[in-house]
Amino acid sequence: MSSEVHTRFNRELHSFPGGLELKTHKELTNSKESLRTPLPDKIILPLQQHIGSPSEPIVKKGDIVLKGQKIAQASGYISVPVHASTSGKILDIGTCQSIHIKSEQVPCIIIEPDGEDAWFELEPVTDYLSIDPEILQRLIYEAGIVGMGGAGFPAHVKLNEGTATAIDTLIINGVECEPYISCDDRIIREKADYIVSGTRMLQHAIQAEHCVIAVEEDMPEAFEALNALIDDDIELVTVPARYPAGGEKQLIKVLTGKEVPAGGLPIHIGIVMHNVGTAAAAFRAVTRGEPLLSRYVTVSGNVEDPRNLQVLLGTPVEHCLEQVGYHRRDDEAVIMGGPMMGKYIHDISMPVVKTTNSILVTSGFNRSREKPCIGCGDCVDVCPAKLLPQELFAYARAKDYEEVRALHLFDCIECGCCAYVCPSNIPLVKYYREAKTDIAIYEKKQAGYEHARHRFEARSERLDRIENRVDDRFDKIKTLSTDQDPVEEDKQSYIRAAVERMKQKKNKKKD
């Protein structure tokens, strides 16, 4: 692909710091047509497939549901609903094992498909370019759309915040930088019309001034597919293949030269970014009324027929692996995601969720023993966030969380570049994740302490006030008029005695 074509709008491309040139292995899967996986025996839908608060079920065990019917509602602003991926009966509403952490249980809804795949009523909207942007946001929210690039951030939040601020550029991210994964490549090639129209729709939804679709330079067919459909309203850009060029902050730097403020969001510099899959899903949701029910998943690695699949959400990973000829071997690991940022799957009966972009079967993962850090500085050279991984490692291990924060731990995107190059085989990303979790727990505890302190101080103050009021009452009684009739006298002495008793009781309690 010649470099002149991609800068049709004369956009100057920059480079981001660090990064790695990795072997992509995408040729294993990117030239094959994607396959639709058949209905599995069970559909397991975790209630939290997104960043934010988990959804709340609105069905109960035994209910019959239709395809696309809402079965869990959003709980709060940063939350989305969950829909039934196919028609069937609600088998159970309970917990299933978390895909990532062996010991954790996550709430989920389990559906037993009835094989009919019968749709719920759909309400498509055709005038998506002229209706009120707020209505578009509502529709996207109702459809349960989240970031499909892997992060899972509710799409409507980005759009909503987008209309509140003036947005300069909408970027549609087709830069698939992680090795093995080609689901974005395939969805562009197969559904380019959805993506281009979806881009236009999203641009309307946030009223962005400019609109860019970015793909990697090793995706020429995807480029052509999009090029054929765009007009001058959308800028199509190719960026050099370098990991992690597809990371939000890195891609923004490449396309605009601007750096998202440390600890901030792209919206703070007037940019909103969505994955190509998200754009396609949003378009489908609005114009066909179909909520997010399936996605493209790359199944690759040590399998017979590595390829992309169109998978219904909630399909067990096992089922997907069967489609491509997987044989269980002792030495192997199944990973959800890519080889650099994916999560190890403990139990392959667990489901594909909204953020699953790939399932990898890998045998050759690194198991060498961890040696001490020799301070070679290779990790500093490759970090795309310009952090100091070796210092972060030293302080994270010492659990010195103040220093770790000062070193901008929370700007780490966990891309894995540092651990990849470390000659001592230190699992750096693991230490950072642990430190982040520990800090989050610590800060929650601190907030609890502050809260308890306020309550205690408020209570002490209240008790002091009561004590003062009682003292005032004593004083007031003492200054009552002295000439009293006998009845009054009795009353007074009775009151005085009662007050004395109360005072004594109070003093006894003070000790």
Of 386-405, binders to another protein (CB under 8 A) are 386-388, 390-391, 399, 402
| Residues between 171 and 190 that touch another protein (CB under 8 A) | 179
Work out which of 341, 347, 436, 492 binds another protein, going by CB under 8 A: 341
* Minimum CB–partner distance for residue 434 and another protein (Å): 9
If phi > 0 it is left, if psi is from -120 to 50 it is alpha, else beta; for residue 90 that is: beta
Nearest to 165 by CA among 257, 265, 80, 247: 265
Cα(348)–Cα(317) distance, integer angstroms: 5
Smaller CB distance to another protein: residue 228 or 498?
Answer: 498
Cα(447)–Cα(438) distance, integer angstroms: 14
154 binds another protein, rule: CB under 8 A: no
Smaller CB distance to another protein: residue 405 or 496?
Answer: 405
Smaller CB distance to another protein: residue 449 or 486?
Answer: 449
* Minimum CB–partner distance for residue 468 and another protein (Å): 18
343 binds another protein, rule: CB under 8 A: yes
Whether 387 contacts 412, CB under 8 Å: yes
If phi > 0 it is left, if psi is from -120 to 50 it is alpha, else beta; for residue 416 that is: left
* Minimum CB–partner distance for residue 273 and another protein (Å): 15
* Minimum CB–partner distance for residue 373 and another protein (Å): 5
| Residues between 410 and 439 that touch another protein (CB under 8 A) | 411, 414, 416, 419-425, 427, 429-430, 433
Smaller CB distance to another protein: residue 8 or 454?
Answer: 454
* Minimum CB–partner distance for residue 122 and another protein (Å): 39
Whether 180 contacts 28, CB under 8 Å: yes
339 binds another protein, rule: CB under 8 A: yes
Cα(96)–Cα(107) distance, integer angstroms: 6
262 binds another protein, rule: CB under 8 A: yes
Cα(174)–Cα(182) distance, integer angstroms: 10
Residues touching another protein, count (CB under 8 A): 79
Smaller CB distance to another protein: residue 258 or 288?
Answer: 258
Smaller CB distance to another protein: residue 125 or 380?
Answer: 380
SS3 letters across 448-494 = HHHHHHHHHHHHHHHHHHHHHHHHHHHHHHHCCCCCCCHHHHHHHHH
**Residues in CB range of 56: below 8 A, 6 or more apart:** 47, 72, 73, 75
* Minimum CB–partner distance for residue 340 and another protein (Å): 4
106 binds another protein, rule: CB under 8 A: no
Q: How many CB atoms lie within 10 A of CB 346?
A: 14
257 binds another protein, rule: CB under 8 A: no
Work out which of 38, 115, 124, 448 binds another protein, going by CB under 8 A: 448
Smaller CB distance to another protein: residue 125 or 388?
Answer: 388
| Residues between 348 and 377 that touch another protein (CB under 8 A) | 360, 362, 364-369, 371-377
469 binds another protein, rule: CB under 8 A: no
Q: How many CB atoms lie within 10 A of CB 413?
A: 16
- End-to-end C-alpha distance for the chain, whole angstroms: 86
Cα(417)–Cα(395) distance, integer angstroms: 19
Whether 294 contacts 85, CB under 8 Å: yes
Work out which of 333, 347, 474, 499 binds another protein, going by CB under 8 A: 333
